[in-house]
């Protein structure tokens, strides 16, 4: 979450979805201004986790231009969703996963 915040991601939300699904323990959802910002976050996160923790994503989405404003980074227990404001409003994961516990919310 620090990397997302450091790259100016906003409205960052961490949900514990472990009781609703087996695909992950946490979802991190954040809003980005544009494709360039989303790609910068994705690249920085990938590099820092690879170097410091020896972790690589199980799946890393394409640029927001090809994904309708949504980049997904799957790190197994943690899945990061980077949305443009329009895409976040459209997909509305917060409502879809409303039963999940909110761990952290940063505006």
Please tell us whether the domain made up of 2-106 is placed in CATH 3.30.460.10: yes
Q: What is the pLDDT of residues 15-29, one digit of tens each?
A: 999 999 999 999 999
86-92 own/partner pairs: CB under 8 Å, 24+ apart:
88/11, 88/29, 88/31
**pTM of the entire structure?**
0.86
By mean pLDDT, which of 40-44, 50-54, 72-76 is the weakest?
Answer: 50-54
């Amino acid at each position: 979450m620090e990397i997302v915040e450091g790259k100016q991601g906003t409205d960052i939300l961490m949900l514990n979805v472990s009781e609703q699904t087996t695909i992950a323990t946490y979802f991190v959802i954040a809003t980005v201004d544009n494709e360039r910002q989303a790609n910068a976050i994705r690249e920085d996160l990938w590099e820092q986790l690879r170097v410091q923790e020896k972790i690589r994503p199980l799946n890393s989405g394409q640029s927001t231009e090809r994904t309708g404003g949504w980049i997904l980074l799957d790190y197994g227990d943690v899945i990061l969703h980077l949305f443009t404001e329009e895409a976040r409003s459209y997909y509305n994961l917060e409502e879809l996963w409303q039963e999940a516990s909110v761990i952290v919310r940063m505006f």
